């Protein structure tokens, strides 16, 4: 195998990895925020709210992310919405991540003893205050491994946004392939960079989980 192309094209992989991390960060951050909202909607006592949240989650989880990306970037133009490629990528990753995060948070919230909510309410807290100050912090600690797993999944799935021309890691690896006429080695380098990012993240999350477990 010949990796001499890295002397000239190494910066392509670095810049692509940086774009991948940006996409993943915003996708998971916004997905987590919306996911909390959808999780609370699914736990609502109002049936129409539960129905809307359930429908969103099932539709998003039941359709491929690639299709969602293409609909957002190309399909929305029929309604006069023309998003830049990066924004389309972030929106697609957010929409997809929110559906999965909603189920993670719903399961985490339901795993907390109902006595916690009742005790908070007996102290004079509203349901919203009890959820925000008592239930969610405990649920977040239990859900940290699942949240970390979702971030790792998004990092890998972000390669799909290369289909709409975002110069992330896979897109740049394909560019190197085209410029050098080397079919295999650029993909091996890209796979190695993906592994470094996901492995490093999993280790950092493991450290954070252990620290939170000591409290």
Domains with residue ranges and CATH for the chain: 6-213 (1.10.3720.10)
Judge whether 98 and 35 are in contact, CB under 8 Å.
yes
Judge whether 165 and 85 are in contact, CB under 8 Å.
yes
Please, what is the average pLDDT of the chain? 89
Tens-place pLDDT, residues 115-154: 777 787 787 787 777 877 888 777 777 787 888 888 889 9
| Rg of the chain over all Cα atoms, to the nearest angstrom | 20
Beta strand segments in the chain, E: none
Least confident of 37-41, 78-82, 117-121: 117-121
- Please report, in angstroms and rounded to a whole number, the separation of the first and last CA atoms in the chain: 49
Judge whether 170 and 190 are in contact, CB under 8 Å.
yes
For residue 214, what pLDDT is reported?
A: 59
Indicate if the pLDDT at residue 215 is higher than 60.
no
Tens-place pLDDT, residues 40-50: 899 888 999 99
For residue 90, what pLDDT is reported?
A: 95
């Amino acid at each position: 195998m010949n990796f001499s192309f890295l002397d000239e094209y190494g910066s392509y992989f670095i810049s692509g990895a940086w774009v991948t991390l940006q996409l993943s960060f915003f996708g998971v951050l916004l997905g987590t925020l919306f996911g909390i909202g959808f999780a609370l909607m699914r736990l609502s006592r109002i049936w129409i709210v539960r129905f809307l949240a359930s429908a969103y989650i099932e539709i998003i989880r039941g359709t491929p992310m690639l299709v969602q990306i293409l609909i957002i970037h190309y399909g929305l133009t029929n309604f006069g919405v023309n998003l830049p490629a990066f924004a389309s990528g972030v929106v697609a990753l957010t929409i997809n991540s929110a559906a999965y995060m909603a189920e993670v948070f719903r399961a985490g919230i339901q795993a907390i003893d109902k006595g916690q909510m009742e005790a908070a309410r007996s102290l004079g807290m509203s349901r919203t205050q009890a959820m925000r100050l008592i239930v969610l912090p405990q649920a977040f600690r239990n859900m940290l491994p699942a949240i970390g797993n979702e971030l790792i999944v998004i990092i890998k799935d972000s390669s799909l946004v290369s289909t709409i021309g975002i110069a992330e890691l896979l897109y740049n690896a394909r560019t190197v392939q085209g410029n050098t006429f080397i079919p295999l080695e650029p993909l091996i380098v890209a796979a190695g960079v993906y592994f470094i990012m996901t492995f490093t993240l999993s280790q950092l999350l493991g450290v954070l989980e252990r620290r939170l477990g000591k409290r």
